[in-house]
Amino acid sequence: MAGIGFQLAKMAGKGGFGGIVGAAAYGAMVSAGPWLVTVVATLALARWMPGRVAAADIGAVQTVLIYGFSLSALSAAPGSLLTVRLVSDRLYAGQEERVPGLVIAALLAGGVLAFALGAVMFGFLAGLSFRDALLATLLLTWLTQIWIVSPLLTAIHHYRLVTLSYVAGAGTAALLIGHALTSILIALAAGAVTTLILLLFALRHHFRAAPHLDAADRPEPKQALLLVLAGCAAAGAMWVDKIMLWQGPGSVATLGALRLNPVNDYGSFLGILTIIPGLTLILIATETRFDRAFGDLLARCTGTSTMERIEQARREILAVILRDFRLLLVVQSLFAALSWVFAVPLFDALGGDTAGIFAFRHTAAGVLFHLIAIQMTVILSYYDLFGRILLVWGSFVIASIAAVWLQWDLGVAAFGRGYMTGALAAAAVGFATVLHSTSQLTYLLFIGNNPAIIGARGRWF
C-alpha cells in the first residue's frame, strides 16, 4: 500500500526545500503517528507533571500511559496486518467498495479485545476507581483502533488531514489537561478519540461506499493464521524486553500490581523516537522504488516478454533492494551515531536520569536493525511469503528474550541490549531471507508460489 508514498515523493521532488520538509513531516505522521504522539506525550508529561501533580498521581499517569501504549500495540497486532493485507487485495482488484466493511470489522475486533484487556489490567490489577479504570480502558481501546487505522492511511492521498488529526488530538489533550489523575485521564482519552474520529473521517472521505461484509471477505485460514502470528510477533518484538524488565533490576511497583522500570522506560522511549527518519524514508523512497520495480517484473510476467527480459527485471529488483538497503543503513547509522555522541547533553537538557543513557544508546542502535527488518518484511509481503515474515519477527522475539535473560544481573548497563540483540537477529534473518527469495523470484512467481499450481492457500514458508 505505497500509494501515499508516491504522493509524498512527488511533493519532495517538486517543492524544493519546503517540499522536502513537508513530505518528511507528513511521512512521519503517516508512518509513525501512534509512536510519535504517544512517546512525545509520555516524555512531555514526565517533564511537566513534577511540581504540578501529586507524586502518586504522576506514577499512576505514567503507568496508564505506558501500559496503555504497550497493550494497544499488542491488542491491535492480531488483526492489523491481516486487515492491511485484505484491504490491499481489494484495492488491487479495484473493489474499493469492500474496504469500509473490512475496516469496521477490524475496529470492532480490536476494540473488543482492547476493552477486555483494559478492564482486567486497569479495573483489577491496577486497583483504580471505576471512573479512572473506565477512562484508562477507553484510552487503551481508542489507541488500539488508531494503531489499526494508521497503516490503512497509506492508501489515501489526504495526508494533510492525517497530520491535522494528530495535531488536533494533541491540542485537545493540552487544552483539557488538569492537575489530578482523573482530569489528566479525561484529557488523554479526549485527545485519543479526537484523533481517531478525524482519521476515520479521512478514510471515509476516500472510501465512500456503505460498509458491508459477506463470505467473499472471509480470509483464507492458513494465510490469516500466518498474518495474525506475524503481527503478534512484530508487536511482541518491540515490547518483550521492556515487559521483562518491568520485573527486573530497578523496577518499582507503581499502581496496584502493575510495575514499571523508570530508567529503562525513559531511555528506551527516547531512543525509539530515532525510528521516525527511517520509517519516513521507507514510506517515501524505498517502498515506492521497490513497488515500481516489482510492478515492472509482474508486467513482464503477465505480458509477452521473453525469459531473458523477465530475468533482467528480477536482477533490477535485486539491485533496487541493495541500493535501498545501503541508503537506509547510511541514513539511520548517522542518527544512531548522533544519538550515541549527544546522549549526555540530551539527557542533561531534558532532565532525565542519566542512568537511562545505556538504554537510550542501545535502543538507538537497535532501531537501525529494526528498520532493516521492517524493510525486509515489506519486500517479503510483496512476495506473499508470510511464513518467512513470521520467521523474521519470531527471531526478534526469541533473541530479545535470550539476551535479557542472559544479562539479567548486569543492571542498567544492559538496558536496551535485549531490543538491540533481537533487532540485529531479525535484520540478519530478514536480509538473508530476502536475498534467497529474490534469487528464486522467477521460480516462485511461475511455480513455487503460483496459486494455479500449489493451490489458493499458498506456501507456509
Cα–Cα distance measured from residue 333 to residue 43, given in angstroms and rounded to the nearest whole number = 24
Mean pLDDT of 149-153: 82
pLDDT in tens, 180-226: 999 999 999 999 999 999 999 988 888 888 888 888 788 888 888 99
**pTM for the full predicted model:** 0.90
The per-residue b/e assignment along 307-326, b for 16 or more CB within 10 angstroms, e otherwise, is eeebeebbeebeebbeebbe
Higher pLDDT, 229 or 46: 229
Residue-wise pLDDT tens digits, 7-26: 555 555 555 545 555 556 66
**Grid cell locating 59:** 506514577
CA distance 356 to 368: 19
For the chain, which residues make up each domain, given as ranges?
3-9+31-219, 270-454
Alpha carbon distance 124, 86 (integer Å): 36
pLDDT tens profile 406-437 = 999 999 999 999 999 999 999 999 999 999 99
